[in-house]
Homo-oligomer: A and B are copies of this chain.
Amino acid sequence: MADLTTRFPSNPLLSPSEVAPSTPEVSVECLLNPGVFRYDGATYLIVRVAERPVQEPGKLSFPIMNDGQMQILSFDLDDPLLNNDDPREPSYDGEVYLSTLSHLRLFKSVDGRKFEDLGHSIFGEGELENYGIEDCRVASMPDGEYILSYTATSKYGYGVGCKATFDWLTFDDYGMILPPANKDCAIFEDAIDGSYVCLHRPSGVGLGGHYIWLAWSDNLYDWGRHTCIAKSRPGMWDSQRIGAGAAPIRTDRGWLAIYHGADHDYRYCLGALLLDLDDPSQVLARSEEPIMEPIETYEKEGFFGNVVFTNGHTVDGDTITLYYGASDTVICGATLSISEILDSLNL
């Protein structure tokens, strides 16, 4: 067992039953994978809230966004055009949908432990976000700007959307910055060599896989100079797929990037990459063993069990306070020591 974390005794911090649905027609099925930022002294989570219509007998219903409004699509279960073989991705007449619709919702805490639902939600906008928005990373930039990178889903596939804000009231929209199939985009919290930098996770079919790539941008709209920095590793805990967590943490030894990896049983653990400070496409070290594994009952059982997944944290000195989704169902917290993670990398 490899686990360097100290979990909050109060885990889970947030559960679906405690959160109000955005309309009475739907229920909150899962809370997932929060982005994290500090603003005006408080800690905020931007949680992915996955909702599903209350199901009627003999019917299958799922929600989409339509012109800024949630719309419920409902089909008879015996309709021959309906295919529900994969309950997470039902299809009708050849068009694939998602069974739940996710939006992002803000929760606030003064102590980083007890979070209050602010009732402030961000929904998908436009054709490329009609199936919802998911798993938002927040990069807190030196000038006070917050850059949000999240998974934008629609019938066109899933890519990475980007918005930026200073005040969380008005947002600049940078559109889809990485086309399908892409997710897990973490933007570095400082420019390197005058450019924005991000980690991202394109998915290939046949050649290639689910690997971590790095890209550069001069204007936040357009990204290029793509390189693959880490592959999944056959026979190891991260053999099937990997993807970046939150923005890498600057340390004296390099950029510390916490990432998730899954094996072929889809058991999700966390590990660490250490990237060169000047050229973060150079990997200096990588966890042989996970730094966090699904151990607790709430991490092993749920909508999708055996999952710890993070895309948000705060840092105070040597301490990382990690917020994470457990079993794709509840939101939890844990602390880690930066020096202990670096020690585990056998530098």
Q: Which residues of A contact B (CB under 8 A)?
A: 89, 93-94, 96, 98, 127-128, 131, 153-159, 174-182, 200, 202-209, 211, 213, 215-219, 221-228, 231, 234
**CB-defined A-B contacts under 8 Å, sample of 6:** A96-B206, A157-B202, A157-B207, A181-B203, A216-B222, A222-B224
State in angstroms the CA–CA spacing of A127 and B204 once bound together: 17
- Least distance between A232 CB and chain B CB atoms (Å): 10
State in angstroms the CA–CA spacing of A218 and B228 once bound together: 23
B182 and A224 within 8 A (CB): no
A177 partner residues in chain B, CB cutoff 8 A: 224, 226
- Least distance between A194 CB and chain B CB atoms (Å): 13
State in angstroms the CA–CA spacing of A210 and B174 once bound together: 24
A176-B222 contact in complex given A94-B234, A98-B207, A205-B203, C-beta closer than 8 Å: no
- Least distance between A122 CB and chain B CB atoms (Å): 20
B89 and A156 within 8 A (CB): no
A157-B208 contact in complex given A179-B200, A224-B177, A226-B179, C-beta closer than 8 Å: yes
B208 and A180 within 8 A (CB): yes
Select A155's contact among B202, B208, B222, beta carbons within 8 Å.
B208
> Across chains A and B, which 6 residue pairs bring their CB atoms closest together, nearest first?
A157-B208, A222-B224, A157-B204, A222-B222, A156-B228, A179-B226
Select A222's contact among B94, B159, B182, B217, beta carbons within 8 Å.
B217
A207-B176 contact in complex given A217-B222, A223-B224, A225-B221, C-beta closer than 8 Å: no
- Least distance between A243 CB and chain B CB atoms (Å): 13
A211 and B174 within 8 A (CB): no
A202 partner residues in chain B, CB cutoff 8 A: 157, 159, 179-181
Which of A127, A182, A226 has the most chain B CB within a 10 Å cutoff? A226
- Least distance between A190 CB and chain B CB atoms (Å): 18
- Least distance between A188 CB and chain B CB atoms (Å): 15
- Least distance between A241 CB and chain B CB atoms (Å): 12
B227 and A176 within 8 A (CB): yes
Select A226's contact among B153, B176, B205, beta carbons within 8 Å.
B176
Select A179's contact among B182, B205, B221, beta carbons within 8 Å.
B182
A206-B156 contact in complex given A128-B228, A181-B181, A217-B222, C-beta closer than 8 Å: no
- Least distance between A93 CB and chain B CB atoms (Å): 8
A178 partner residues in chain B, CB cutoff 8 A: 179, 226
State in angstroms the CA–CA spacing of A194 and B186 once bound together: 29
- Least distance between A346 CB and chain B CB atoms (Å): 25
